[in-house]
Amino acid sequence: MSDNRQDPGPLDGKLISLEQSYEVAFWSEALGITRDELREAVETVGHSAAAVRVYLADRPTVASETKSDPDVQ
């Protein structure tokens, strides 16, 4: 990520840093997730943007969770 707060996009897009709030905001928006979900993903798979994308793609969605729960109608 660039240290230029006027242009907070990633320099190479390969790593996700949780150190700067503007970087967390950028990645959260780019991936369509909350800041807490981003932190969880990075803590689980590391700072690689590719690994985080795979992790997010592999997690169950709310819709699929309710379909598999026999108590939910």
Convert the pLDDT of each residue in 19-54 to its tens digit.
988 889 999 999 999 999 999 999 999 999 999 999
Are 55 and 41 within 8 A, CB to CB? yes
Are 60 and 43 within 8 A, CB to CB? no
The number of beta carbons lying within 10 Å of the beta carbon of residue 1 is 20
Q: What is the pLDDT of residue 1?
A: 44
HSE-up (13 A, CA, CB side) for residue 69: 10
Give pTM, 2 decimals. 0.69
